[in-house]
Structure 1
């Protein structure tokens, strides 16, 4: 198969178009997750990142939500919790305690809807 520069230009343009759509979708998903977490979370001091690979990184100062809310978040966005890392730093000189929590999620398998024909 012989390819010309025009063929490669078309392929690269198609790639750029697809990438732009993926970036737009990633941002839309992140925004939806942020809004959801703001309504159910204990704090708004968090950073969430939806990666192209389908992993979600969530870092927060303090406790964002309890165990039940984590599972609700997973249900709403079809996620599986991979790692949960919680670090408590106590500074006895300043008499302060800081909590940092990190989560790593992955997207789950999508289930196809089946219609019940009533048979």
Structure 2
């Protein structure tokens, strides 16, 4: 069982609140597709940290499933379009920074070219 959160917008900040959602948890555990949601994109590096983005087909919001190389870490559900849009930027930055940081440390043994 992985962690699950609801994303709330608080001013210009995102707030993550623990969430219980047995249906979503079961679907994700089986690796199935959740009805009513469309896969939009995957951001990041599947070998390090990546985010699968799903948009509610009808209605507002969507959810984000964050994985590392070992599997699902957590899921965050946005109930509004504002939370969904802001969370895309948040998780896009998160996975980009993880890749950037890994690149720096993976290349520490290479001498800088001057």
TM-score interval, normalised by the smaller of the two chains: under 0.3
Which has more radius of gyration? 1
By relative contact order (CA 8 Å, sep 6+), the higher-ranking structure is 2
- TM-score, normalised on structure 1? 0.25
Task: Give the structure-2-normalised TM-score.
Answer: 0.25
